[in-house]
Amino acid sequence: MEEKFNRLIFIPIAAVLFLMIGYQYVCPADSNTCYFRSDDKGLFQRYSSGFELVYTEQETDEDLPSKITSRFNFTERDLDRHVDFNIRGDDVMVFLHIQKTGGTTFGRHLVKNIQLEQPCDCLPGQRKCTCHRPGKAESWLFSRFSTGWSCGLHADWTELTSCVPVVMNKRDKKSAPKSKR
């Protein structure tokens, strides 16, 4: 009898734990968003002031792709800012690689897939590419795929801010034409 009673209590407790874990997966505790599915309403986003309709299901006869708009914690100013990078001038793009965030793939795209006036020269079998400015023998990119591990393996922001100027100055001195005496 006691064994049967233990089983009867275990099943509801396990079900409640399963539902709690599932709810935390769908609606994380530190997040202000929670997505629910309803047949007549669409997709909702929860805020402290209630629910706001974010996406409504399209009619079946529309050929438009479905899109779910998401809200991030970026301000309009952050998203609309303009960065003026002068590849012909003295500007250098420093790529800070953060592990496990797709940085290796993004770093490869920087040297292989960007449409530039003078694209990076990547030779087969070599790990580093040469990324010169148009008409100059200076590098515009500081990353592991262009300069190698010049500041150490997986250098962080602190290491890069002290190391990059020193390394770039050394490279500029080597590439500068030597004056005749």
Q: Is 34 contained in some domain?
A: no
Residue in this structure with the two tokens 């899109």, named with its chain if needed: 67
When mean pLDDT is compared across 6-20, 47-61, 91-105, the lowest value belongs to 47-61
In percent, the amount of the chain with pLDDT more than 70 equals 71
Q: Of the ranges 27-31, 36-40, 76-80, 139-143, which is most confident?
A: 139-143
Mean predicted lDDT score pLDDT of the chain: 77
3-state DSSP assignment of residue 35: strand
Strand partners, 105: none
Joined tokens for residue 71: 């809200």
User: Could you tell me the residue range of the domain that residue 138 belongs to?
Assistant: 86-173
- Residue 112: inside a domain, yes or no? yes
Looking at the domain assignment, is residue 9 inside a domain? Answer: no
pLDDT for position 175: 67
The segment with the largest mean pLDDT, out of 41-50, 57-66, 105-114, 171-180, is 105-114
Q: Tell me: pLDDT of 33 over 90.
A: no
Q: pLDDT tier at 55 (50, 70, 90 boundaries)?
A: very low
The answer on pLDDT for 115 being more than 70 is: yes
User: Does the annotation count 154 as an active-site position?
Assistant: yes
Q: How far apart are CA 110 and CA 96, in angstroms?
A: 12
**Out of 82, 97, 109, 154, which one is annotated catalytic?**
154
Asked whether residue 102 is assigned to any structural domain, the reply reads: yes
* Within a domain: 138: yes
The string of pLDDT tens digits covering residues 146-160 is 999 999 988 999 999
Q: Quick one: which of 57, 138, 149 has its CA closest to 107?
A: 149
- Give me the mean pLDDT over the 157-179 stretch: 81
User: Is there a domain that residue 181 lies in?
Assistant: no
**Is residue 93, in this structure, part of any structural domain at all?**
yes
In a domain, 100, yes or no: yes
Average pLDDT of the residues in 48-63: 48
The structural domain count of the chain equals 1
